[in-house]
Structure 1
């Protein structure tokens, strides 16, 4: 019934407890989990996890906080992996000006090159956009891609509209469940319902009810969905159909996995 569009199953403690994590996910009705790579060195791991668990699929890319260890030859490695395998998207790529501003030129170079890979293979893009949405939009105007997902969106309504116009869905997860996250909740309530997908970013970005208690995992997307449904005044079955359709539009290769 539900799709987690962003989950790092290869990170500790999820991979360490992978069997129980996947059992709980299935029990809660999670039909699909997208695992994005963050580095060329964990590409094989996310592929192997997806091969081991049929409800899992993967995106291939390099996270902006990992580009400091990259070299241009790694782009060819990424390109070859994309050519050899069948990712649902390029990602997790993007820009991060919240954690790291001192290497923005390097971040921009590798983000732009990954957009070019996505364009070459006609793949959507899963983007990390933290404190960098205007700069992200500048690159999207330079390199045309087929849309995708702006992961953990926390921008303005105007920025949301510009991403939506470019074919992107906006990812909402545990952060919006914090009572103090009024801006995120306003976005979640007010943006077009067909522009939103759900995610956990597990094991990171725990929902409010887990903070200080337990690690985040893909099964939490079900309770996140209920929180979102309550914000929008929808019943969960109605919302599940809408979110599934949105996710399939963002990541068309998921259709075969979920049907």
Structure 2
């Protein structure tokens, strides 16, 4: 059984002390593919170098973008730099990008950066890795207006009706640590009933740990706990969900099986 962690930030400084050991633990757990999503332009070279180095048989796939939570760090010229970077670096996706109205940082500028990155994804035929916090409805409207484009809304937290609208647009949903919490009833209903072909598994490591790791650093090896929670909710064999979600990620990100 092998797994694809569809959203991580493995370039984060939280892993600087034991990154190789962390990857070894992931490989031992069967997590052999991971998408590593960028947040800001200054991190792109570090992320590229990390993904180029294969350790313990784990394949790291790079996504380059400009995250809405870091608007204060982004410069307008980063958008032109992103286009050049995407054309030169052969990434798996554009992202992490999107809208975050919980932080409320420069909402109009967030919209402009998101729209531009949708355009780049469409032009370069790359999927989008989308952040949508307190902004799912506007993300849907933006995708309808700016699309068509393929991608995933990671760490999905919207309603089931909004999820249906995203599926109709061909967008996948990423579910991670939050689905393992007992009180996450809305996520449980979604995980139990959503089309399996639209589901991706993720950790968002080092963020959003599951119920067994509260207040701890998250890491890709814990993806197995997400898998087990969803298998129980769907009353399906864990191997079937592992295979289906890995196949979904491989198709979406255009990566060949290991």
Distance in 2 of aligned mates of 1:15 and 1:32: 20
The residue number in structure 2 matching 1:155 is 158
Measure, in 2, the Cα distance between the counterparts of 1:201 and 1:157.
Answer: 21
Change (3 A) 1:145 1:85: farther
Q: Which residue of structure 1 aligns with residue 176 of structure 2?
A: 173
1:99-144 per-position Cα deviation (integer Å, ceiling 9, x unaligned): x225110110100111111111011100001110111112112211
Match of 2:88 among 84, 87, 90: 84
Measured in 2, the distance between the counterparts of 1:88 and 1:167 equals 17
| Aligned structure 1 segments of 4 or more residues deviating by more than 2 angstroms | none
Counterpart of 1:116? 119
Q: Is the counterpart of residue 95 in structure 1 residue 99 in structure 2?
A: yes
Listed as ranges, the matches of 1:36-55 within 5 Å are: 36-53=37-54, 55=59
Return 141-150 or 78-87, whichever deviates more.
141-150
Alignment correspondent of 2:190: 187
TM-score normalised according to structure 1 size: 0.95
Structure 2: segments with no counterpart, 5+ residues: none
Counterparts of 1:2 and 1:82 in 2: how far apart (Å)? 26
Alignment gaps of 5+ in structure 1: none
Answer whether contact 1:90 1:126 (CA < 8 A) is retained.
Answer: yes
Paired residue for 2:221? Answer: 219
Q: Shift of residue 66 of structure 1?
A: 1.1
For residue 145 of structure 1, report the CA deviation from its aligned partner. 3.8
Distance 2:164 2:251 in 1: 17
In structure 2, the partner of 1:246 is 248
Q: TM-score, normalised by structure 2?
A: 0.95
Q: CA deviation at 1:32?
A: 0.2
